[in-house]
A and B are shown apart, each in its own frame.
Chain A
Amino acid sequence: AQSVTQLGSHVSVSEGALVLLRCNYSSSVPPYLFWYVQYPNQGLQLLLKYTTGATLVKGINGFEAEFKKSETSFHLTKPSAHMSDAAEYFCAVSDGRDNQFYFGTGTSLTVIP
């Protein structure tokens, strides 16, 4: 079975500061990992994904995440926060054998000007 834990339901950063959103997963098989972003009153948009290969994954809007198997983590980072990054972020895991995704509870990111 798979599960995802997102540490910190609310994260605040200053504009220009590093963004770090934490995600730990549990999976009995090699996982497929995803980060999604949700802006108010909208659906989820894929930021990046890890399937196989390079463990450092680059996504849209300057975000990246690193798959660390030993730590069962897939933390999302961005070197410099913009006001437009304020949104809800969701980490998700899948085992790749079916289409059931397991989402974390989400982290709300606030960017302070």
Chain B
Amino acid sequence: KAGVTQTPRYLIKTRGQQVTLSCSPISGHRSVSWYQQTPGQGLQFLFEYFSETQRNKGNFPGRFSGRQFSNSRSEMNVSTLELGDSALYLCASSSTGMGRHEQYFGPGTRLTVT
């Protein structure tokens, strides 16, 4: 099976712009979670989608949003970018959406905001 894919891998944006990141989960996986990873804050949970519905949300401002399509592919959007949004954004997929099963991570999208 193909793994989790994320596009693009690298992105440079300017403050105030918006950005959309894409994640394709492993075939058959219905749960997609997004994480922000920074050196200072570590791995922080953004949100999780299961069968097109947002089930869990972390403590991030409303500028961070996401959605999931019927084929389980997911996108996350960040509007009005700030310098502090520079991070590695990781997507993870899971088969059942229950935490007893592991999440499979993509390689991430490295976002740099200038």
Chain A residues with a Cβ under 8 A of chain B = 32, 34, 36, 41-46, 49, 51, 90, 94-106
Contact = CB atoms under 8 A, between A and B. Distances in A.
Contact of B99 (A44, A45, A90, A97): A97
Nearest to A105: B42
Contact of B105 (A44, A94, A106): A44
Q: Is the interface of B mostly helix, strand, loop or mixed?
A: strand
A26 to B, nearest CB: 15
Contacts, number: 67
Contacts of A43: 4, 90, 92, 105-108
Contacts of A103: 35, 42-43, 45
A1 to B, nearest CB: 13
B103 interface: yes
Nearest to A47: B102
Interface stretch (B12-20, B48-56, B64-72, B73-81): B48-56
Nearest to B6: A43
Interface residues of B, number: 26
A45 B105 contact: yes
A49 B104 CA distance: 13
B98 interface: yes
B100 A96 contact: yes
Contacts of A94: 99-100
